[in-house]
Amino acid sequence: MSRIAFIFPGQGSQYVGMGRQLHEASPVARELFARADEVLGSPLSRICFEGPEEELVKTGNTQPGIFTVSAIIQTLLRERGIVPVAAAGHSLGEYAALYCAGALSFEDALLLVVERGRAMNEASEARRGAMSAVIGLSPEQVGAACAGAVSAGIVQVANINSPEQVVITGEDVAVKAAGEAAAVAGAKRVIPLPVHGAFHSPLMGSAADRLKRYLVNVKITPPDIAFVNNADARILEDPEEIRDSLARQMTSCVRWVESVERLISSGIIAMVEAGPGKVLMGLGRRIAKDIPVLPCETPEEIVKTADRLAGAKD
């Protein structure tokens, strides 16, 4: 069996037009977009294809849109005989990974994504926060900068995206103080992100509680393939552990470097970014240069990637 992992992007990978070529070329894509429109009771497909940008970037559209495109791509790959042995997703991408692993149905995952977005919006309105990307320091150095800024308020590492790209999150003043400390420590750049919420921080505590209550009634089954979670970079099999992990992810760090390293340690020979954009491809090259991360965003890329992987064996 080919040892391929599917990896799924998170919020920030969206763009107007995503999924349109797939919809035009594939009955599967048309079916899944139609199911998403029906489940949501809104024209998600039109918003993905036509925008406008200010409508697409709303969390209630962005998150289900990215999930739906990711679900379509992994389905089309399977149709071509590319079956993964493992899956992981970056933040929001965990829901596409769980769908890929057979732990969630399409409808349940879609509704979970919508509930997650609502919970995040509600928490952000109640407690405004900030996030910044720190480029050029190790996660340990960024963690030290955050530790030195806690007197200013809540601040912590939100995402470890690559060995030298780390996102910090928390209260605005504390995030600014940690960013300044990171600059003094030698960061190449500190880039404030265009968000109004402190995602993956304790300020998302109310969102985590709300999602945890919702998850109680969601059917989750043991994954058919290895599922690597964000909060711990562990392979989870038990549905209750998965529920707990999804709730904890709201307030904890996205350990993407460790998650990719966990996939690699399981013996995979390639990863496929099964979603819009190529963010994870770029990060993958910085994490593990010897493991290819292949794009699968358009019908042409799906065919090319499937052909390339068709001969990959243990």
- Residues with catalytic roles: 91, 200
CA distance 47 to 23: 13
CA distance 189 to 179: 9
CA distance 20 to 78: 20
Q: Do the beta carbons of residue 294 and residue 272 sit within 8 Å? A: yes
DSSP 310: T
Give kind and range of the element (H or E) at residue 53.
helix 53-56
CA distance 145 to 159: 15
CA distance 28 to 128: 40
CA distance 84 to 63: 23
Concatenated DSSP letters of 220-233: ----SSEEE-TTT-
Here the tokens at position 209 are 């509680």
Q: 52: cis peptide before it, omega within 30°?
A: yes
Helix, strand, coil percent content, the chain, rounded in steps of 5: 50, 15, 35
Instruction: Say if residue 185 is exposed, middle or buried (CB neighbours under 10 Å; 0-12, 13-18, 19+).
Output: middle
Q: Do the beta carbons of residue 200 and residue 249 sit within 8 Å? A: yes
